[in-house]
Amino acid sequence: MIKQALAAGAAAFITITSAYAGMPLNQWTGAYEKNTDGLHSLSITNNGGALEISVKGECTPNPCDWGSAPAVAFADSAGGDPASNTEAITAVYNQSFATKTIVLDGRAGNTLRAHIYTHFTDNSGRSDYVAHVSLKKKMLIARPLPGGPIIARPLKPFKEDCISFNPDAVSVAKKNGSWKLVQGSMWMLDAGSKKSEMNRAKTIVQHYGMNKQCFVGRPDASLEYWLAGNAAPSGGLAGEDCVSINPNGLSVKNSGGHFTIVSNGNHYAFTAPSQEEAETVIKAIKYYGFTKSCFVGRPDPSMRYLRK
């Protein structure tokens, strides 16, 4: 009965204290550190729809690890979609002396509010209580272009493999019998005999100001993506060949010897040689918020890029 009351109280708290508008679920994910006392840190991950919260409490002399627990995202109504509008997230941790329910019920900028309901189960006679904690998202300070403004971005939940270049210095050249996109002695794309596709690739790179070519897995990358000033290219270009992808609708399927990343359960998107690499592909797409998968030449495109 007490546990039921605790759950009911947590649910009621979500309803009456959500002071901020809901946000897409992918904007909640990431690592957070304490802004006020009460918790040391927590991280929210979403791997193919499996939402988890990992928590470290404040203990002496070192933080105590609560471990990870499955989490539930709440929409703003019974007909709402938490993937596009999450109002709150909850998770429950069963410890040796208590059950702790965490309610994350509001975000403003890069801060997060956590409410921790503790129900003691050790017959100690201590009163159940609730603590309110503020956390801030861990940020990476980055300068997107030489002389550009310093910006802060959430820390990446994956290790990135990128090559930087100057978009104004790229050109199309024939090397070893193939038309390539090059900068000096470095080549980035190979179109074989299709010079027109490399000319198009150059137009795309310079239109978006792409200055990084990135990979998940090399050689034979599971995902190749391009960045413009450490961010997703955005906008549009006449004549683009693009299909829509839902970053929050991606999942991994074991297809017998390789792993397929699908969009909304059925539309093929990418493949990877391992579950780990497939999950990294999803993390990269979600981190940058890519919503379009684009091609230069199909089938067997000379260039594949992602943008917003």
Q: Is the pLDDT of residue 189 over 80?
A: yes
What are the tens digits of pLDDT across the range 236-271?
A: 899 999 988 888 888 888 877 788 888 776 667 788
DSSP 189-225: EE-TT-HHHHHHHHHHHHHHT--EEEEESSSS-SEEE
Q: Is the pLDDT of residue 96 over 50?
A: yes
Would you say the pTM of this structure is higher than 0.85? Answer: no
E strand spans, 109-160: 111-120, 129-137, 139-142, 151-154
What residues does CATH 2.40.128 cover in the chain?
Answer: 2-137
Residue written as token pair 């928590």: 55
**CATH fold of 2-137, please?**
Lipocalin (2.40.128)
What are the tens digits of pLDDT across the range 42-94?
A: 988 887 678 899 999 988 888 888 988 999 999 888 988 888 788 899 999 99
